[in-house]
Chain A
């Protein structure tokens, strides 16, 4: 059920926010696919693998811009790009040579359409405090029959 899943995720994020590493944490919460649900935007085509239909994505961090809505074109490749920029000095892992072959036809972090998650952060702002949410918020959800 949606409520069970969201309570679980809330619990994980609450724990991270209240843990010792929150001040240097960035959480990227996203969904693996559209699941057959409606979306009105035709995704751009960057190679034979897509992109696919849009999924939600959230950035949770002491340095995340508050209330910011990112309108860039992004895909899950943006997470790899951000990690490589951050921890590998922008070196790219190439599926042809990284020793772990996978179905990516190219180094997709370099797709010209792909935005940069760095836009979602402001590292000059005062670090934001944890925002601990209820695991059992009031809801209008209707449980399944039976």
Chain B
């Protein structure tokens, strides 16, 4: 068991997998960045060997999923300090 990676992070462009929706090699999904006036950011390749991801308690999962819109990820990462509140609610805190 390893920690803290989404399926899309590993197999998002793996042939045959249910990965990032693409059309002509370009992602057709994006997530708005609240700190950039809501600019919508498509998934991209990250070459960094260190990436701590975003907060991942229960409330963060709900916000990431946004009732099916799957567009809360960047906002939650930018509000990472909210994990302290999640901890008080007894949800998972891990690194």
Which A residues are closer than 8 A to B by beta carbons? Answer: 1-3, 5, 9, 29-43, 52-56, 69, 71, 140-144
Q: CB distance A31 to B20 under 8 Å?
A: no
Q: CB distance B64 to A35 under 8 Å?
A: no
Partner of B73, one of A9, A37, A142: A37
Cβ of B36 within 8 Å of any chain A Cβ, yes or no, is no
- With a 10 A CB-CB cut-off, give which of A1, A29, A36, A143 has the most chain B CB atoms: A36
Complex interface: chain A residues within 8 A of B60 (CB):
36
Bound-state Cα–Cα, A8 to B68, Å = 36
- With a 10 A CB-CB cut-off, give which of B2, B11, B17, B73 has the most chain A CB atoms: B2
Bound-state Cα–Cα, A77 to B3, Å = 17
Complex interface: chain A residues within 8 A of B56 (CB):
33-36
Bound-state Cα–Cα, A39 to B47, Å = 18
Report if A9-B2 is in contact (Cβ < 8 Å); known contacts: A1-B49, A40-B29: yes
For chain B, give the interface size range.
35 or more
Cβ of B40 within 8 Å of any chain A Cβ, yes or no, is no
Query: Chain A's interface: helix, strand, loop or mixed, by majority?
Result: loop
Bound-state Cα–Cα, A3 to B49, Å = 6
Bound-state Cα–Cα, A31 to B10, Å = 11
Whole-angstrom distance between the Cβ of B4 and the nearest chain A Cβ: 3
Besides A56-B6, A142-B47, 9 more A-B contacts (Cβ < 8 Å) are A36-B60, A38-B6, A40-B29, A43-B65, A52-B61, A53-B7, A53-B65, A54-B6, A54-B8
